[in-house]
Structure 1
Amino acid sequence: MTIIGSLETFSLPELFRLIDSGSKTAELIIQPSQEYRPFAAINDYPVGTYHLWFYQGQLVTITSNRPQHLNLISIIKKQGWTDNSLLNYYARTCPPNTPMGLYLSKMKVFPGEKLKSLFQLQLHQIHQLFNLSSGKFQLKVITEQHLQPSSIMPWLEMTGLSIPAVKVNILALRVLKNWDLFAEKLPESSSALQQLVYQPTLRLNYIEQQLWEMAFGTMSLGELTQIHNLSLLEVQKAAFRLMMGRLVEEIPLAIFRKNTASVSSNAMIMTYNTPQRLEQLSIPVASTNLVTTSASPVTYETKLVMSDTVLPNQQQEIMVTEKKKFNLSLLKRLINFLRSKL
């Protein structure tokens, strides 16, 4: 299966998210527009074609039709990590279906730490592609039965390391300089966020973590800016990173609040008064003992009780706020006891 399109309509982060969503094995071909010279000037690359390779949703390598710039052997030679003739020899003797990086590590050409550094260099090159504002792409999905021939995957260009496509999204968007590229794709200030996973596997930065912890679909991004004293653009960019990382989704807050209001009006009655108020509502509940004194601060606990009297034909959940007395003298004795043990 092949998908062809333009980066103007389907951005690189969205493509990465698509690849991750189905754990796809694929080749993503990126061809920047010929008139887009700033990319070549900034990154010292000629405008060419870039091939990004994924295995089961994990990014494994990047290659180019300009071998002297992006290919693995060229990067190693540029770093001066080993003798060029020896490197060429190992390139010829690398076993089929074996990543070149793992083979070099096995042959003691360079240690595993340099292998990680090599992969980081590849990731840095991929991060630069996120600055592309125009170009074409081809997404070629590789089926499992086509994985065996060594001609399918570029084994000589692979370090043997990989990273989930959506993690690349978050890391690349954190260092993105020109957010004008994604201005129309940022979530609306009136939208809310809803968590999609139980726990992120990638360490989030402060803003991302704050948004993640409050992504229950109950507050708009505009409201979150006031709580955290951040600009709307900062919150939108962090939310977009979480969305492209498949950690949250954007939802219309109006729908959530409409549903919540319906539930509140039809199934939930909040009471804050005395038992006499409960009697006025004809709600049969046990004595709530709501007597308070100035010496007895109170806390509030919400309980659910079932009522057949409010709606005769259906049971209804009613939220009853019950006040609990707190014994301050007991607390003081406990504090004094703990102090005596210090």
Structure 2
Amino acid sequence: MQLIGSFCEFSWYDLLDLVAHKCLTGWLCVEAVAEGATQGRRQYQVWFQNGSLVAAAQSGRRHGSSSQSSGDSNHNSLLWMMQRQGWLSPNVSQKMAQQCPPQVPLGQYFRQQRALDDRQLQQLFNLQLSPVIKALSLLESAQFQLDTTMPLPLELMTGLKLPAYNAQTLARQSAIAKSPAPQMALVNAGRLAS
């Protein structure tokens, strides 16, 4: 199944509902124009399996450019995140990644080899998904493509999953946190009246 549209037709919440309700497996790509003309476009990718989110990535593109900005794809990799946390050296992580069997999520393999513990694996998953979920929940205008024929990116996957319904809850919490506090509106209104 392929679905192409905009957030004017289907919101991020509607797409999560579709993924959850139909227990979809596949890929969602969302592209949004950043507010400042110099910021260009942002692209968010989310992979899901049987109605749950299993991986996410984001990249920036300069206005008028079709290629990712330098380093974006590396910054989405589990290897880069593990190295940034100081858990594994680049040499060790690269060697282990090359030994990962096909059809096994990379994070799961590192856990099986005891290179990561459960807490670290959960932290990687959160570092990967949280910024993308938050960003998508705040977008008002974007184009998207949903494709259930795309293969899952095992090199980006931890082996953990977040049910799409739970992602909806996180997204709503992010949107609520971004909105102004009710007291703030009252204080500002009171100042205008005086």
- 2:53–2:164 CA contact under 8 A, matched in 1: yes
Q: What TM-score do the two structures reach when normalised by structure 2?
A: 0.77
Q: Match of 1:2, as an amino acid?
A: Q
1:132 and 2:139 correspond:
yes
- 1:62–1:71 CA contact under 8 A, matched in 2: no
Residue 15 of structure 2 aligns with which residue? 15
- 2:5–2:144 CA contact under 8 A, matched in 1: yes
1:59 and 2:22 correspond:
no
For residues 37 and 85 of structure 1, the distance between their equivalents in structure 2, rounded to whole angstroms, comes to 39
| TM-fit CA distance, 1:178 | 4.2
For residues 119 and 178 of structure 1, the distance between their equivalents in structure 2, rounded to whole angstroms, comes to 23
For residues 69 and 12 of structure 1, the distance between their equivalents in structure 2, rounded to whole angstroms, comes to 24
Q: Match of 2:52, as an amino acid?
A: Q
| TM-fit CA distance, 1:157 | 0.4
- 2:30–2:144 CA contact under 8 A, matched in 1: yes
- Specify the structure having the higher radius of gyration (Cα): 1
- 1:36–1:134 CA contact under 8 A, matched in 2: no
Specify the SS of the correspondent of 1:75: helix
**How do 1:145-294 residues align onto structure 2 when only pairs under 5 Å count?**
152-176=151-175, 177-178=177-178
For residues 18 and 163 of structure 1, the distance between their equivalents in structure 2, rounded to whole angstroms, comes to 15
Which protein has greater RCO, CA pairs closer than 8 Å, 6+ apart?
2
Residue 97 of structure 2 aligns with which residue? 91
Per-residue CA deviation, residues 208-232 of structure 1 (Å, 9 max, x unaligned), is: xxxxxxxxxxxxxxxxxxxxxxxxx
| TM-fit CA distance, 1:70 | 2.3
What stretches of structure 2 of length at least 5 have no aligned partner? 60-71, 181-194
For residues 118 and 81 of structure 2, the distance between their equivalents in structure 1, rounded to whole angstroms, comes to 16
Q: Match of 1:139, as an amino acid?
A: L
1:122 and 2:128 correspond:
yes
For residues 31 and 9 of structure 1, the distance between their equivalents in structure 2, rounded to whole angstroms, comes to 15
| TM-fit CA distance, 1:128 | 2.4
Per-residue CA deviation, residues 292-326 of structure 1 (Å, 9 max, x unaligned), is: xxxxxxxxxxxxxxxxxxxxxxxxxxxxxxxxxxx
Residue 104 of structure 1 aligns with which residue? 110
For residues 98 and 171 of structure 1, the distance between their equivalents in structure 2, rounded to whole angstroms, comes to 27
- 2:20–2:52 CA contact under 8 A, matched in 1: yes
| TM-fit CA distance, 1:169 | 0.6
Q: Match of 1:28, as an amino acid?
A: L
Number of equivalences: 167
Identity score, percent: 30
For residues 22 and 121 of structure 1, the distance between their equivalents in structure 2, rounded to whole angstroms, comes to 27
RMSD: 2.4
For residues 168 and 139 of structure 2, the distance between their equivalents in structure 1, rounded to whole angstroms, comes to 14
| TM-fit CA distance, 1:10 | 1.4
